[in-house]
Amino acid sequence: MSGDRASPPADLGGKAFYMFVGNWVALATLIPMVIAGLMLSFLFIDRAEQDDMADLQRIVGGVARGMDAYLDSNIVIASSVAEAVHLYSGPNPGVSRSLPELIVSQRETVLSITITDAEGAIISASPGGARPASDLPELSRQSPARFSTLRQPAGGDAQLGVTVPIRDAADVYSGAVHLEFSLAPLIALGREIGGQDMDLRLLDAAGHEVALSAHVATSAVPESVLLADRTLSNGFVVSGRRYVQTVELREWNEYAVAACLLLLASMVSWLVAQAVAHRVTKPLAGLARDLADLNLEGGQHQLDVPDDAPREIRALFGEFNALLRRLDLSYGQLRESLEEAKLLRRRMEHVIDERDAIISKRTADLQSRTAQLERANSALQRVAMEDALTGLANRRAFDEFLALVWRLSLREHVPVSLILIDIDCFKSYNDHLGHQAGDDCLRQVAHAMRSLAKRPLDLVARYGGEEFAIVLGRTDLADAADIAQMVRRAVESMRIDHAAGGINGIVTISLGVASMLPDETAEADDLIAMADNNLYAAKDRGRNRVEFEFPTAPES
C-alpha cells in the first residue's frame, strides 16, 4: 500500500499536471495583488480620517441644533401653562383642573404636567403627573426655567423635566409648573443620522447621560475613536464618538485577508486532494448518502461501515453511529416533551381565556361606573353654580366671576362695570297673586336679561330674592348705562300685569349702574357698594329707571 501512495499519477502530463501548474500560477498572481492593495491603503489613511472627523462634527452639530430647538419648544409649553394659570386663576385648587390633562392629550411628546403652589404642594396634575423633587420650588425662584436631571426608565424612552415658576403681576413667586417630556424624537433623530458606527450621547450638568444612537461598541476588533462635543446654551452637552476600524485594518480586511485566504485555500486544496481523494472520497460519499436518507421517525439507526475503508474512516463511522444512538434517544424525549408542551399550552390558553373574560367584564363594569360618576359630577357642578328657579348663575357663581373679572381688569388696566337690578313692588305682587305667580315673574325677567349679556366677560346672575346682577367686563360706564336701559325697556315691553301696585299696572325694574378702573387701592366690594347706592337712588326717585354716577377722584 505504501508503494501505491508513492507512485505518481499516471496522467501527470495531462489534466493533473495542468491543474498543478494552474494552482501555482494563481498563487503567484495573488501575491503582487495583495502587496499593491496594501500600498494603496496607506495612501488614503489621512484622507479617510479627515473625512470621518468632518462627518462626525457635522452630525454632532446637527443633533445639537435639534436638541436646542426641542428643549426651547418644551420651555415655551411650560411657560404658556404658567402664564395661563396666572392669568385666569393663579395657583389655587379651584381653577384650571383640566389644563395639564388637556396639554398632555394634545402634545404627544409631553408625558406629564404638575402644577404646585408656593409651598410645593400639588394643586393640579395630568394623569401621569408625579410630585417634583423637594427642592423644586426653591430652584424655581432662582431662575426663569430649570431642567431636571436626565432619566432613563426601565423599558421606556429617556425623559427630561423642565420647571417654570408662576409669578403674579408684582413678580412674586406663587407656584411652579413642572413638565416631563420624552426624548424619543431626539433619539430617533440621532439614530437616523448617526448610522451604525457612531455613538451619540446627551449629558446634563450632573453627568447623567442618554444614548442617542443605536451603535454598540465592540472590543473584538481594534478600533480608533474620533471625538466631537458640542455644548448647548442651557448647559447640556451633545457628545459624539465614532468607533471605526483603522484605515490600515480596513484595507487589510479588503485586500490582505482575501489574498491570504486564496493562497491558503490553493495550497490546502492541492495537498489534501493529492493525499485523500483516492481513499476517502468513496466511503465519505456513501456516508453522505446514508445521512441524506436518514429519517428519525423510523426508530433505531445504524450506518454500515465499508470493508475497504481506512482506519480513520472506520473511526468516523463509529462516532456517527454513537451520535445517531444519542440522537434517537434525544428525539424520543423531545417528542414526549412536545406532547406535554401541547397539552400544557391548551390548558394555559383555557385559563387565559377565562381570565380575559373576567377582566373584560370587570373593565366594562368599571367604565360604566366611571361614566355614571362623571355624569353625576357634572350635574353637581351645574347645581352648585346655577340658580334652580331662573337657570341663571347663583350668588356663588357671581362672586367667583366678579373676582376673576376684577383681577383680569386690574392686570389689563381696563374698566369693569356692574348693574344691580330690583323688581319694583315685588312684595305686593307676591302677596296679591301668590308665590307661584311670583316665581313665573322671576323667570320671565331672567329670560329678558339673559339675552342682553352674551360676551365671554358678561354674566347675568340672581343676586338674591327679586334682585339680579349683571357683570360687564371691559365695559365703561356709558356702555353699561346703555345696556341697563335696554334691560329696563325689555322688561317693560313684556307688559307683565301688576295690578296690585305696579307702575302703570305692569311689572318694572329699577337699576343701579357702577363702573370702576381697578387699582391696588380698590376692591370688588367697592364696585358692589357703588352700584347698590345707585339702585337705592333709582327707587327713591320713582322706580322704573336707571341711576348711575361717575366715581369721584379720591382726595390726596
The residues carrying an active-site annotation are: 466
Distance CA 225, CA 145 (A): 36
Name the nearest CA neighbour of 41 among 314, 311, 249. Answer: 249
Backbone φ and ψ of 178, nearest 5°: -110, 120
Distance CA 511, CA 422 (A): 7
Q: Name the amino acid, one letter, at 543.
A: R
Length of the chain equals 556
**Cβ pair 152, 210 in contact under 8 A:** yes
10 Å CB burial of residue 276 (0-12, 13-18, 19+) is middle
- The three cell numbers locating residue 138: 426653591
- How far out from the chain centre does Cα 509 lie? 56
Residues 211, 214, 218: CA angle, nearest 5 degrees: 95
Residues 27, 31, 34: CA angle, nearest 5 degrees: 130
Please give the sequence-ordered ranges of beta strands (E in DSSP) within 56-212, or none if there are none. Answer: 110-117, 122-125, 146-147, 159-167, 173-182, 198-203, 209-211
Distance CA 136, CA 119 (A): 10
**Cβ pair 511, 545 in contact under 8 A:** yes
Using the 8-state DSSP alphabet, how is residue 195 labeled? Answer: -
Please give the sequence-ordered ranges of beta strands (E in DSSP) within 436-504, or none if there are none. Answer: 458-464, 467-473
Using the 8-state DSSP alphabet, how is residue 255 labeled? Answer: I
4: left (phi over 0), alpha (psi -120 to 50) or beta: alpha
- The three cell numbers locating residue 97: 383642573
- The three cell numbers locating residue 463: 343676586
Q: Within a 13 Å sphere around the CA of 470, how many CA atoms are in the beta-carbon half?
A: 32
CA torsion sign, 525 to 529 to 531 to 535? positive
Q: Which residues contact 203 (CB under 8 A, 6 or more apart)?
A: 150, 209, 236, 237, 239
Terminal-residue alpha carbon distance, the chain: 135
